[in-house]
Amino acid sequence: MDLKTATEIGKCLSNETRFQIMEWLKEPEKNFPPHETLKHFNDGVCVTYIQEKAGLSQSTISTYLTNMEKCGLLISTRHGKWSYLKRNENTIGKFIKFLK
């Protein structure tokens, strides 16, 4: 991990809602209702559930999640019309290594 990437991750973690999302996604089954279509959380949680729980507008949350994916904090997977988000533990690990 280089300084630039680490700083981009820092930017994502500089906002309470975004950091909270990272925390929620540690335990999807505990923090979100079950998906009706997808019967598991293997690929994480859909945007709508995250948006509702965060209580911010759809556009704001969509932008958050896009940026969090861009810097490598999240992995996005599409299933039909839904996008599912989960933590990218690989990048998180590299970030931690860089900071430590």
Partner DNA sequence: TTCACATATCGCTATTTATAGATATGTTTG
Partner DNA sequence: CAAACATATCTATAAATAGCGATATGTGAA
Residues that bind its own copies (CB under 8 A): 3-4, 6-7, 9-16, 19-20, 22-23, 92-93, 95-96, 98-100
Gap between the Cα atoms of 78 and 19, Å rounded: 23
Which residue intervals of the chain are DSSP H helices?
A: 3-12, 16-24, 28-31, 47-54, 58-70, 89-99
CB 52 within 8 A of CB 34: no
- In the complex, the smallest distance separating the C-beta of residue 23 from its own copies, rounded to whole angstroms, is 7
Quick one: tokens of 76? 């996005």
Site for DNA contains 21 (CB under 7 A): no
DSSP string computed for 42-63: TT-EEHHHHHHHHTS-HHHHHH
Binding track over 23-62 against DNA, x by CB under 7 A: -----------------------xxx--x----xxxxx-x
- Binders of DNA among 66-85, rule CB under 7 A? 66, 76, 78, 80-83
Residues within the interface to DNA (CB under 7 A)? 11, 14-15, 17, 46-48, 51, 56-60, 62-63, 65-66, 76, 78, 80-83
